[in-house]
Amino acid sequence: MNKEAVTTYLSDLSRAMLAPIYVLPLVGFVIAIGAAVTNPGIVDMLPFLNAPFFKGMGEVLVWSTLSVLINLHIIFAVGISIGLAKKDKHLAGFNAMILYFVYLYTMNTYMKFNGLLIEGDLAGTGQATIMGLQVVDTGIFVGMLLGIVNAYFHNKYSQKVLNGALSLYGESRLVLIIMLPITIGLGLLFTHIWPPVQQVIFQFGESIRGAGSMGVGVYGFLERILIPTGLHHLLWVPMHFTDLGGCQEIAGQSYCGVENIFLAEIGDAETARLSSSIIFDSRSLVKIFGLTGAGLAMYHCADQHKRNQVKAIVFPAIASSILVGVTEPIEFSFLFVAPILFVVHAILTGVFMSILAVFDIVAVGKGGLIDFIVYNVPLGTEKTDWPLYIVVGLVQCAVYYAVFRLLITKLNLKTLGRGDAEMKLHSKSDYKEKTAGPVGEVVIQNQVGEYNSAAIIQGLGGKDNIVDVQNCYTRLRVEIRDPELVDEDIIRQSNPMGIVNKGHNIQIIFGSHVASVRQEVNEQLQVMA
């Protein structure tokens, strides 16, 4: 397998992991609402919340949604299977659910038969009760592994038709037949190999956390610098959802991973202060404050007569980052024209995450301003330090502005609106002028919908060159057959924010409306069938 194939597969895996992750913001919102209803400080201000109905409803909201965190293993198994499957995704997900049950019952029965089940309190033993069965606690790892292996065999054999008496066992049933012995084998194998692996993972996580502010800073730098590759999910997902991010017992239930821990702590009225591990999830700092300073610097460094045009591009991108935490529009506005700014951006992200660690400033900062308010304000200042978090954020905004403006002017970087720099992000009026084009320019006149799906399809080499079209939070991710047929100039007529060409894997950045773009493209592909 060559380097390009490995990179393409890792990119696909990164995208597939987003399916289960995307449900967590909603889960977090509901938990935060339930926690607010039962928060003593809120109840003191609003005495009617002390009524049994509201107290009961708060508990229901918290524990009904915490069930998602408790069962993330099977959610990842199903989600990754669906995300990696090329065809019949629903059947891949259905098989994954069956296989995870087989895995759990295999391990539980084997451990029971061999007297390996620990009696009494399971905290810190490496075992846990999952879906009513006591097993070795592998977190989401086995769920991910089952999803990956199941998707591999699904893509290989789910379209294979058997003849004669065996016809009933073809297609997705054949995949299940192949996977059953593999799954049983994994159940037996992980009973013995996971406990030592668990210790290695735990020690590695401890070494990161033991490095203090330096470890936090390195994590912050890597999480940002990997964004252009689309592989940053492979870094923060293990930190947020596995033993790598630490484990903690909350209200009698064990939670592993930074995000699982802080969501559980939010819902637990007995937790006096949220865990300092939340520093690892302080991405709101750069989303709300840092990139605002960067965007303002680019705006003020633009040529005077182009500032209105730059404002139309940069300010909506800043708003997207501040409000909902979508950073790629603003990041990609300088990544392609001045890569050094992106490196500095990653360094500053790590530095300010380190500052939070040094001063032990804890706040839930995973998304944009809306998330930040919902998660932190109802909790008051006893559980979090959100006012100090904002102070550090304002300092970060000023530092970003000063550093970006200095670099842009001193190095004469061709950011938006400077000299003859090409505008990589276009306003709607710019787009219309471009698609009008001079005589002889290749222009897709038939836009086929709001997002010019015709240009996207033709730029990707046509329908026959497109294998699969998916999306993550901001990018259209397309697998193609022949990279030589891709024409980025035609794709740009669909007004993307950027294009990342990885050979057989093309990523087209559209921002938060990318799901609508994917729907339009897939609808047009079906029409062309």
What is the arrangement of strands in the sheet containing 466-471, beginning at the earlier edge strand? 466-471, 475-480, 505-509, 498-502
How far is it, in rounded angstroms, from Cα 285 to Cα 291? 9
Contact 525, 463 (CB under 8 A): yes
Tokens representing residue 141 in the block: 């790892």
In 59-142, where do the E strands start and end? 127-130, 133-136
- H or E segment to which residue 501 belongs: strand 498-502
Helices marked H in 305-443: 307-324, 328-335, 339-358, 369-376, 380-383, 386-410, 428-436
In 197-287, where do the E strands start and end? 247-250, 253-256
| Residue 395, C-beta contacts closer than 8 angstroms, at least 6 positions apart | none
Catalytic residue from among 247, 256, 397, 472: 472
- Please indicate whether residue 301 is annotated as part of the active site: no
Kind of pairing, strands 133-136 and 247-250?
unpaired
- Three-state SS across 453-484? HHHHHHHCCCHHHEEEEEECCCEEEEEECCHH
User: What are the Cα distances from residue 441, in Å, to 344, 354, 444, 454, 494?
Assistant: 38, 51, 10, 16, 15
Residue 448 — left, alpha, or beta (φ > 0 → left; ψ -120 to 50 → alpha)?
A: left
* CB count in 10 Å sphere of residue 113: 9
- H or E segment to which residue 281 belongs: none
| Residue 303, C-beta contacts closer than 8 angstroms, at least 6 positions apart | 417, 418, 419
Catalytic site residues?
A: 472
